């Protein structure tokens, strides 16, 4: 501890006394105020290294205080403390810049560890912070690492290779690289290589002149030319055949190309980002992908985590997709209840974020009564069962659900080092819900 100045904001007199006493005992210079308005005055007149604030207070609430601090003192870290924690509230707090979201009642070790971790991050962040990727939702360690890699890669003009399973968000990451780069005012041009047959892909990429082939009645610029001054995104590059690979190699090496039917060599002022879910290393060994092209593409390789490797992000993603799906379908936003979120977090999601998004949209479309529960998630799974597959009995379905929930809870506890409050946050549920689930599953 280095005696940092901590400001506690809470309208509960007893809690202010207890928390300030706890912080002083731990070696911090703590003081407290009963309202958000007083907190803003205190921040202006006295040194403050960290704010710990309640959410529900008379007048200005904690979320509004967060927003105000973000404008007046953007480098001041804030921890939100609430007895009424919900997933939407936690998501909103994090969006407004909260470093941590803790639930009341709390224990001494948890409070001190959270404050020390937050202050430790603040002490080591003197250089300008790495820009946060706004399209990439999630606050897990894997996503924080991905954001940092994207921010660093975006500053250069090097070719980036995005690797990861289908549905993990490779195009979203590619757009984020473009938006954070010096080319952000130029075009972002995607080419979905797997969607085009070999004969069309070449003309789509490089364009063609009038009369280059039967039906070419006028000149057509290719995607490379259209991406001039911007970023060309080559999605599913692993599906490109060897003949086009040769031309892509020349494009990447020499930054030049020729349209079909043309004798003119054109220069390409383009930044390249490629993506694939295929094992390019194995394809190179099998002779299905050129090794020289592979190394030209993978100058900066970035792996996107699967959704099962960041299960703690499911809650935030589900809340976001729920709101977006309601807007698209012209319906009121239903409430995603905690049992539904726990059920969603327990799934393996082989289709990753894309599969979760589709699932949530179905839940919104079929929502009845303005709320979505775990039973609705189970019904969605049943709807997706192939017609020829025999129906499972209710008990076996329940057993499968229980086992999935057990696995999700145990993984969250392991990642949290046994800290149940942190495990609840990783799962996107309240601590009370987690304790009830532990009792239900017989997990000590």
Q: Where are the domains of the chain?
A: 5-123, 141-303, 308-441
Q: What is the pLDDT of residue 233?
A: 95
| 94-137: pLDDT as tens digits | 767 788 877 777 777 778 888 887 887 655 443 333 344 457 88
CA distance 324 to 305: 23
Q: Is the pLDDT of residue 81 over 50?
A: yes
The 3 state secondary structure assigned to 348-370 is: CCCCHHHHHHHHHHHHHHCCCCC
Q: What is the pLDDT of residue 282?
A: 93
| Of 223 and 399, the one with more pLDDT | 223
Q: What is the pLDDT of residue 71?
A: 82
CA distance 301 to 281: 12
CA distance 191 to 222: 10
- What's the rounded mean pLDDT across residues 4-30? 89
Closest-CA residue to 146 (of 321, 351, 300, 316): 300
Q: Is the pLDDT of residue 398 over 60?
A: no
Q: What is the pLDDT of residue 97?
A: 78
Q: What is the pLDDT of residue 422?
A: 72
Q: What is the pLDDT of residue 217?
A: 81
Q: What is the pLDDT of residue 215?
A: 76
Q: Is the pLDDT of residue 374 over 80?
A: yes
The domain at 308-441 falls in which architecture?
A: Orthogonal Bundle (1.10)
Confidence of residue 179 (pLDDT cuts 50, 70, 90): very high
Q: Is the pLDDT of residue 280 over 90?
A: yes
5-123 placed in CATH 3.40.50.2300:
yes
Confidence of residue 38 (pLDDT cuts 50, 70, 90): very high
- What's the rounded mean pLDDT across residues 79-92? 70
Q: Are strands 188-192 and 78-82 parallel, antiparallel or unpaired?
A: unpaired
| Of 303 and 75, the one with more pLDDT | 303
CA 105, 419, 397: angle at the middle one, nearest 5?
100
Return the CATH class of domain 141-303. Answer: alpha beta
Q: What is the pLDDT of residue 444?
A: 66
- In this chain, the answer to whether the domains covering 5-123 and 141-303 adopt an identical fold is yes
Q: Is the pLDDT of residue 198 over 60?
A: yes
Percent of the chain with pLDDT over 70: 89
For tokens 């999630």, the residue is 138
| 283-328: pLDDT as tens digits | 999 999 999 999 999 999 999 999 988 888 888 899 889 988 888 8
Determine the straight-line distance between the first and last CA of the chain, rounded to whole angstroms. Answer: 33
| Of 92 and 178, the one with more pLDDT | 178
CA distance 116 to 107: 14
| 405-420: pLDDT as tens digits | 777 787 778 777 777 7
Confidence of residue 35 (pLDDT cuts 50, 70, 90): very high
Least confident span in 24-33, 69-78, 133-142, 316-325: 133-142
| Of 104 and 388, the one with more pLDDT | 104
**What is the maximal distance between C-alpha atoms in the chain?**
84
- What's the rounded mean pLDDT across residues 167-194? 93
Confidence of residue 390 (pLDDT cuts 50, 70, 90): very low
């Amino acid at each position: 501890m280095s005696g940092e100045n901590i400001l506690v904001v809470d309208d509960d007199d007893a809690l202010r006394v207890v928390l300030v006493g706890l912080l002083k005992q731990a070696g911090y210079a703590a003081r407290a105020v009963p309202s958000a308005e007083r907190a803003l005055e205190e921040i202006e007149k006295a040194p403050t290294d960290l704010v710990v604030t309640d959410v529900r207070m008379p007048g200005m609430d904690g979320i509004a205080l967060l927003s105000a601090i973000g404008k007046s003192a953007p480098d001041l870290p804030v921890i939100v403390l609430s007895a009424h924690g919900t997933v939407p509230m936690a998501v909103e707090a994090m969006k407004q810049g909260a470093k941590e979201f803790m639930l009341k009642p709390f224990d001494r070790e948890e409070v001190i560890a959270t404050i020390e971790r937050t202050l430790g991050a603040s002490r080591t962040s003197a250089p300008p912070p790495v820009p946060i990727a706004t399209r990439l939702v999630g606050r897990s360690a894997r996503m924080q690492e991905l954001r940092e890699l994207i921010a660093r890669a975006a500053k250069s003009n090097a070719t980036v290779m995005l690797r990861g399973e289908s549905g993990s968000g490779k195009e979203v990451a590619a757009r984020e690289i473009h938006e954070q780069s010096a080319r952000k005012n130029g075009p972002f041009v995607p080419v979905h290589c797997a969607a085009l047959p070999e004969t069309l892909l070449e003309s789509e990429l490089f364009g063609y002149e009038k009369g280059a082939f039967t039906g070419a009645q006028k000149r057509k610029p290719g995607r490379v030319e259209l991406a001039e001054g911007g970023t060309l995104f080559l999605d599913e590059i692993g599906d490109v055949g060897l003949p086009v690979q040769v031309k892509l190699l020349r494009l990447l090496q020499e930054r030049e190309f020729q349209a079909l039917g043309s004798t003119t060599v054109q220069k390409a002022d383009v930044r390249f980002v490629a993506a694939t879910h295929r094992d390019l290393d194995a394809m190179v060994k099998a002779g299905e992908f050129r090794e020289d092209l592979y190394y030209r593409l993978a100058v900066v390789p970035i792996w996107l985590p699967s959704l099962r490797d960041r299960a703690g992000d499911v809650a935030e993603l589900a809340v976001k997709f729920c709101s977006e799906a309601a807007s698209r379908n012209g319906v009121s936003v239903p409430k995603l209840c905690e049992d539904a979120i726990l059920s969603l977090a327990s799934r393996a999601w082989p289709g990753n974020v894309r599969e979760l998004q589709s699932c949530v949209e179905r839940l919104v479309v079929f929502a009845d009564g303005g709320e979505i529960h775990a039973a609705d998630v189970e019904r969605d799974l049943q709807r997706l069962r192939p017609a020829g597959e025999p129906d499972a009995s209710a008990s076996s379905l329940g057993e499968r659900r229980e086992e999935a929930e057990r696995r999700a809870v145990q993984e969250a506890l392991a990642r949290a080092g046994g800290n149940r409050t942190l495990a609840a946050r990783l799962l996107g549920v309240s601590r009370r819900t987690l304790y009830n689930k532990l009792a239900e599953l017989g997990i000590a």
